Amino acid sequence: MMSKQARQLTHMHMETVGIDFELGLCKVKPLCHQLNQHTGKSYWKYMRVKKGDSVVTVQRMAFGMASDELVKKYEDKKEKFLMGITQEFTQQLRKLERAKTDKLARHDLSEMQKEILKLHHEGKIHKEISKLVDLEISGVTRHLQRMKKWGYETDKQKSSRESG
């Protein structure tokens, strides 16, 4: 198990306060994250370090700027990472758009399907439709379900018998 001091070291945040390009320094504010276990409230406090016999609060630090080679390697990795995320996002978006388009796409109906849909909109029940088109009731139901999946309106409350 990590000691309290080791845990504090893993909860650091370096906030950039300025960059001195002439001297090649990056100035930061080192903050430690502290969480009150009883209230759940989160605090950011300045880092404290032991110096000799006393404890010193560190409010600012300065680091040398990264070399051009390191910056280039970082930028290359960042670009590769972002391109991967962008491609993945684009693929997922296209997939969702395709699914939406497919759902809205109307399939050409056969003459029998057109007749079943017309009779259904007139308010006929499945048993009546099955007799008129010479098909079993399950076949009528299957055709109406398929047409609903294709985006055609097949809800009973929309039929003329119930609305009239």
Q: Are 118 and 142 in contact (CB under 8 A)?
A: no
pLDDT of residue 74: 94
What are the sequence ranges of the domains in the chain? 4-64, 111-155
Other beta carbons less than 10 A from residue 147's beta carbon: 20
Q: Are 129 and 117 in contact (CB under 8 A)?
A: no
pLDDT of residue 43: 85
Using CA atoms, how far apart are residues 129 and 137, in angstroms rounded to an integer?
Answer: 8
pLDDT of residue 148: 85
Look up tokens 């047409």; give the residue: 147
Closest CA to 144 of 164, 160, 124: 124
End-to-end CA distance of the chain: 75
Q: Are 59 and 45 in contact (CB under 8 A)?
A: no
Distances (CA, A) of 104 to 6, 93, 109, 124, 159: 58, 17, 15, 26, 21
Q: Mark out the alpha helices in 3-136 (DSSP H runs).
A: 4-10, 68-104, 111-121, 126-133
Using CA atoms, how far apart are residues 14 and 32, in angstroms rounded to an integer?
Answer: 9
pLDDT of residue 30: 92
The 3-state DSSP class for residue 29 equals: strand
**pLDDT tens string for the chain (164 positions)?**
556 666 555 678 888 999 999 999 999 999 988 888 788 788 889 988 899 999 999 999 999 988 899 999 999 999 999 999 999 999 899 888 877 765 666 677 888 988 998 899 888 999 999 999 999 999 999 999 988 888 777 776 443 344 44
pLDDT of residue 105: 61
pLDDT of residue 22: 92
pLDDT of residue 64: 92
pLDDT of residue 162: 41
Other beta carbons less than 10 A from residue 43's beta carbon: 10
